[in-house]
């Protein structure tokens, strides 16, 4: 399992936090460690889900990743 922190732009409230949690909870091979306004920390199995797929789920939820 690998741990990674994603910085997220566009989150401004608790609803945003819940929206990101919901989007990520649908991915297999991923454990959500912490979600707060502006970032998410996840632990994931790279043989099941990639960082790119996690990033895509966040973006599909309506938020932008900060590089």
Among 31, 30, 27, 20, smallest CA distance to 59 is for: 20
- What is the CATH class of 2-66? alpha beta
Domains of the chain, by residue range, sit at: 2-66
The per-residue pLDDT for 65 is 94
Structure tokens at 5: 């922190």
Q: What is the pLDDT along the chain (67 residues), one digit of tens a residue?
A: 999 999 999 999 999 999 999 999 999 999 999 999 999 999 999 999 999 999 999 999 999 999 7
Question: What span, in angstroms and rounded, lies between the C-alpha atoms of 47 and 12?
Answer: 32
Are 30 and 47 a contacting pair, CB within 8 Å? no
The per-residue pLDDT for 2 is 93
Output the DSSP codes for 9-40: ES--SHHHHHHHHHHHHTSTTEEEEEEETTEE
């Amino acid at each position: 399992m690998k741990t990674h922190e994603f910085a997220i732009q566009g989150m401004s409230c608790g609803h945003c936090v819940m929206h990101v949690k919901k989007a990520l909870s649908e991915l297999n091979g991923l454990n959500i460690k912490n979600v707060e306004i502006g970032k998410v920390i996840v632990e994931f199995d790279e043989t099941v889900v990639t960082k790119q797929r996690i990033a895509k789920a966040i973006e599909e939820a309506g938020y932008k990743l900060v590089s």
